[in-house]
Amino acid sequence: MPINDINVIFNQIYEETNKKVIFYITAKCGKVEDIQDIFQNTYMEIMDVLVKNGGSYIQNKEAFVIHIAKQKIHQHYSFIEHMKNKLHFILDSQEPGIDDVIEICSEDNISLEDQVLQSLLLNEINELIAKKSQLIQKIFFLYYDMDYTIIQIARLLNLSESNVKNKLYRTLKQIRGLYR
């Protein structure tokens, strides 16, 4: 399909769905700063789908775009995705050169071996948390990565403080038991 046709279809999809998508993303996001990134990533994915599969691939435009937005929100807030970004020198193909890793380690006064072992341990812990419910993943993300307090998390997720503490501390106890 010619790129001009793809652009026409994309523009039509955008015009028909952008207001509902921005409303959906705004309702689902925990932070206002994240809305534009997720919105942009949603429509970038739509363009990728159109380029790969053509315009006839999308039957129900609104449902498809909302589905993509939902995926992008999940990816954005997913704890494991966040940790993969932190450990990009092990998990990504776009890793820095070994000199960069050695420099990072020497700046932090950590040996390369210790840094790699620590990263592998964090990866294992990520996998454990990724197997937990979405709620526990959100609590860990908000507490450790976003520095929210237990009170803030409870309000944001519409839970009691004791429920948030219970889920957080029970999972931490399990992690400590497995990786002591």
pLDDT at position 113 is 67
pLDDT of residue 94: 40
CA distances (Å), origin 77, targets 5, 70, 179: 34, 11, 25
What's residue 159's pLDDT?
92
Please tell me the predicted confidence (pLDDT) of residue 145: 74
Sign of the Cα pseudo-torsion (58, 59, 64, 65, in order): positive
User: To which residue do tokens 């403080």 refer?
Assistant: 161
* Regions of the chain with pLDDT less than 70: 1, 32, 79-115, 180
What are the start-end ranges of the H helices in the chain? 3-28, 35-53, 61-77, 79-86, 88-91, 98-107, 112-130, 134-140, 150-157, 161-179
The pLDDT score that the predictor gives to residue 40 is 93
What is the rounded end-to-end Cα distance, in angstroms, of the chain? Answer: 56
